[in-house]
Chains A and B, each alone.
Chain A
């Protein structure tokens, strides 16, 4: 556990001195800030007309997840690919650290960075809650945030898996990006056309487990299991890739 934390802390600190992390944070906060401003304007108008309806903040989480699709691969592409390229992987693999601890630490560091951005975006619902009466639906907000965390954790784990396989960062970025966009958007498409077997595509689609679940305020164990499975798959792939490298 201590090794995981040591590696995670290094990765987390490293994000604050790399431009790519600042670009990811800036774009996410800028887009969400703009969306928040639109929600705020609508809410003020609704209040001006005397309505007491609760403003819908789920558009923020919908966009956050889309931005994660682009941002997470950028954060994970260097995690192991760069260690391989620069040779520092030799340092880590000859230190008394288990392969799984190395992978988990890398993933945790990147997750903590996204978590920091996510916490920063909490300012939007807090402000909105103060400006409108009777306030916002906090249960929905918390469900949205839990969903966003799980999506981010899954994207990052898959990204770590890809980064462990490829030593080229650009290749690692695009392959992770295609996996993320495939899971979130494309893989669910066949379910709309297929009478038989459509349910399978629907189940493995991340869209189903986010838009129809956490983003709608429903927190279900089956959805959580889905994300935990994806995280496990990504981290397992990365661990196997590292072990395979040792044996080759």
Chain B
């Protein structure tokens, strides 16, 4: 569990974090989004005990990050943005070293377990210096998992991975997120949409939005836009939809497609489906096309970024 309350961080005269507050619960994957220099890494570094905040309070796994930093560090697994690796060590030696620092019994067995988790068992005895970027990223994730942490903090965990590896690592994160707390930062907004239960958008050291990806979309747009496609000709379909209460902005988008919108929080798709079928059309698709997370992200951060 992570509880952050009024966190402030100053680097000299520059304020990097402005009074940020948020929670992340057990069994929750929280995505941390923001442009470069927004304060994501600073927040993560404070939560991992790497640096103290200037003001405010942060509690991780039940321990204060300043007063009980060592207890926090025992319970947190951390993958920094630049994966810190000893390139002269083999993957196994590196993980055993990290396991020893965390006093894990049967360090070698545990090292093999996490190597399997990140699909690197066959490279256990290879030197990290010879690893590709993707493999380095995976070994970095393995060290973050070695002590079965209660809280996992990952700074850009899938950067540099190929598509197959991205899927694998996302699955690992999802699995861990079932019973532990995961806070991850990412630039890949679709990633946040796919694996995060909740998203925090941070800009210039302040949290500008916090919600599930779906709620963020509807909150920001205020209405939900939907694509409706039928088999064959859609003649008169717009009139059918117009009769349903709550629909607006109806546009014919092709011979078989119509787009319309309705107010968020008032999902009328079932009524639309029923009406379309009753009117004799063969319904093929009824798909929401709300703002993507990318668009939301830009909407929330663009004004400040353009300063």
Please say whether chains A and B are actual partners in one complex.
yes
Q: A residues touching B (Cβ–Cβ < 8 Å)?
A: 2-3, 6-7, 10, 14, 17-18, 86-98, 246-248
Please provide the chain B residues from 71 to 107 with a CB less than 8 Å away from any CB of chain A in the complex: 73-74, 76, 78, 80, 82, 84-86, 88, 97-98, 100-103
Report whether A6 and B50 are in contact in the complex, using a CB–CB cutoff of 8 Å.
no
Option from A7, A91, A98 in Cβ contact (under 8 Å) with B80: A91
Complex interface residues of chain B between 9 and 58 (CB less than 8 A to chain A) = 11, 45, 48-52
Q: A-contacting residues of B (Cβ < 8 Å)? A: 11, 45, 48-52, 70, 73-74, 76, 78, 80, 82, 84-86, 88, 97-98, 100-103, 143
A-B contact pairs, 24 of them (CB 8 A): A6-B97, A17-B88, A87-B80, A88-B85, A88-B86, A90-B50, A90-B82, A90-B84, A91-B80, A91-B84, A91-B98, A92-B101, A94-B50, A94-B80, A95-B73, A95-B98, A95-B101, A95-B102, A96-B73, A96-B74, A96-B101, A246-B50, A246-B52, A247-B51
Min CB distance, B64 to chain A, in Å? 15
Given A90-B50, A246-B50, A3 contacting B101 (CB threshold 8 A):
yes
- Checking B11, B101, B143 against A97 with a beta-carbon cut-off of 8 angstroms, the contacting residue is B101
Which 3 residue pairs across A and B have the least CB separation, nearest first? A91-B84, A88-B84, A96-B74
Q: Which of B52, B74, B76, B80 sits near A90, CB closer than 8 Å?
A: B80
CB-defined contacts of B70 to chain A, threshold 8 Å: 96, 98
B108–chain A nearest beta-carbon distance, Å: 14
| B285 CB to nearest chain A CB (Å) | 48
What is the bound-complex CA distance between A19 and B78, given in angstroms?
Answer: 32
Shortest CB distance A18–B (Å): 8
CA A150 – CA B132 in complex, angstroms? 44
**Shortest distance from the beta carbon of A156 to any chain B beta carbon, whole Å:** 21
A98 to B100, CA, bound (A): 14
Cβ of B37 to closest chain A Cβ, rounded Å: 18
Provide the residues of chain B in CB contact with A93, threshold 8 Å. 49-50
By a CB distance below 8 angstroms, the chain A residues around B88 are 14, 17-18
Residue of chain A at shortest CB distance from B155? A90
Contact check, B86 vs A247: say whether CB atoms are below 8 A apart: no
Q: Is the CB of A91 within 8 A of B143?
A: yes
Q: How far is the CB of A23 from chain B (nearest CB, A)?
A: 17
Whole-angstrom CA separation of A89 from B98 in the bound complex: 13
Residues from chain A with Cβ under 8 Å of B97 in the complex: 6, 10
The reply to whether B102 and A87 contact each other, CB–CB distance below 8 Å, is no
A241 to chain B, nearest CB (A): 14
Contacts of A90 on B, CB cut-off 8 Å?
Answer: 45, 50, 80, 82, 84
Smallest CB gap from A89: residue in B: B84
Report B-chain residues with C-beta under 8 Å of the C-beta of A98.
70
Q: What is the CB-to-nearest-CB distance from A91 to chain B, in angstroms, rounded to a whole number?
A: 4
Q: How far is the CA of A98 from the CA of B80 in the complex (A)?
A: 19
Query: A2 contacts which of B45, B76, B103 (Cβ < 8 Å)?
Result: B103
Give every chain A residue within 8 A of B52 (Cβ-Cβ): 246-247
Within the complex, the shortest CB–CB distance from A165 to chain B, in Å, comes to 18
A6 cross-chain contacts in B, Cβ below 8 A = 97, 100-101
Smallest beta-carbon distance B291→chain A, Å: 36
Docked pose: A97 CA to B72 CA in angstroms: 11
Bound Cα distance A93, B45 (Å): 10
**Chain B: CB-nearest residue to A247:** B52
CB distance from B101 to the nearest CB of A (A): 5
Q: Is the CB of A96 within 8 A of B51?
A: no
The minimal Cβ–Cβ distance linking A100 to chain B, given in whole angstroms, is: 12
Known interface pairs A94-B50, A96-B74, A98-B70. Does A87 touch B103 (Cβ–Cβ under 8 Å)?
Answer: no
CB distance from A20 to the nearest CB of B (A): 13
> In chain A, what residue has the closest Cβ to B12?
A248
User: Is there an interface contact between A94 and B48, defined as CB atoms closer than 8 Å?
Assistant: yes
Cα A97 to Cα B70 in complex, Å, equals 7
Nearest CB in chain A: distance from B70 CB, A: 5
Q: Which residues of B contact A97 (CB under 8 A)?
A: 73, 101
**Cα(A94)–Cα(B73), bound, Å:** 6
Chain B residues in 8 Å Cβ range of A94: 48-50, 73, 76, 78, 80
Q: What is the CA–CA distance of A213 and B101 in the complex, to the nearest angstrom?
A: 40
Chain B residues lying within 8 Å of A89, measured Cβ to Cβ, are: 84
